[in-house]
Each structure stands twice: as structure tokens, then as C-alpha cells.
Amino acid sequence: MANPHEPHFLKPLLPCFHSGVTIPLGFFSKHIEGKTNQKTWKLRSDASYKTWEVIQEGKRLTGGWKDFTTAHDLRIGDLIIFKHEGDMVFHVTPFGPSCCEIQYTHPHIIKEEADADDAAGDADDNEHHHKISKGTWAMSSFSFDYCFLAEVTASNLKEDKLYLPVGATSSTALNKQCQ
């Protein structure tokens, strides 16, 4: 259940959603209108460490919205939950048309359109981007010694356990320091 101290709203993505999205009137009246003079929303998601700045015009999010939706590979029929964390910062969680949360495999390496190196036309081409799944981008210089896919079941959640394959536990990737 959602925390009542973190107000939130849900938006389905309809045709022409790339041009902007309307903030629900009830949410706008209760949490935005008259509460702040800020017109820039800061959107965060589990897909990226980047904070996206999106301009509010009236009751709509417009400027920067298209960049956010493109980077997250959002499509007509997807659902978005905006959770207000305070000070015009919102955590955004996208769901597909099946109402399941969209999973991004490597949140820290999603291709961001505002990447300073790409925008500057940097001549350094040592890192090539390759699309690996919906909304995610891997760099060829980034690799794991071992990886595996595990399905989280009800018993995993109940017991708060997930058994790892032997290959994963002996992998040197588990012994590397975070950078």
C-alpha cells in the first residue's frame, strides 16, 4: 500500500502523450496549486540515475517530457505512477499495458539523450552503446564475469530468500569493489 505521506497519481499514456501529459485536477488542486511557485518538476525513476527536469505549464507537463518518455521507451497504453517525494521531486514508475511494472535490466547505464559527451560530439568513441532490452543500453566497456536470471516467487518473498546458482556465488564479480 502506498504511503499516504507521499501523494501520488496514475496516468495512462494516450495518443499524442509525447507532447505532454495533464496533471489530474484533484492532485493539482490539493498538492501543487498555491503550494509552490516552482514550475520545474524533477522526475526520477529506477531506470536511470539521472534526474529529468520537466516544465509545468498550467496543469500540463511539457518541456522535457518528450525526452523523458523517449529515454524510457514509453508507449501508448503504458501507465505511469508519479509519487510526490516533496520539493517538486517525483519518483516515476512505468507499467506496461499488462499493468506489470516495466523492468530495466541495468538502471545505471540507460542511454540518456542529454549525455554531455554525445552532445559535445566527443571524438572519444571507446564506449559504444548497444540496445539490450526495452529502454536499456549497455556499454561495450561494461561487462560482468557472470550473470543469471532468477524468477522471484511468492515463497522467495515470504521467506525473504533467493538461492543463487553456484556459478554466481563463485564469480569474481561478487568480490569486486563498487566503483
CA dihedral sign, ordered 166, 170, 173, 177: positive
**Rg of the Cα atoms in the chain:** 19
* Angular region, 99: left φ>0, alpha ψ -120 to 50, beta rest: left
Q: Report d(CA 110, CA 72) in Å as an integer.
A: 8
- The residue ranking higher by pLDDT, 81 or 161, is 81
Q: 70 and 15, same structural domain?
A: yes
Which three three-digit cell numbers place residue 136? Answer: 536499456
What tens digit of pLDDT does each residue of 33-51 get? 877 778 899 999 888 788 9
Q: 36 and 108, same structural domain?
A: yes
Q: 155 and 126, same structural domain?
A: no
pLDDT of residue 82: 93
pTM of the model: 0.57
Domain count within the chain: 2
Q: 149 and 138, same structural domain?
A: no
Query: Does the pLDDT of residue 145 top 60, yes or no?
Result: no
Q: 158 and 74, same structural domain?
A: no
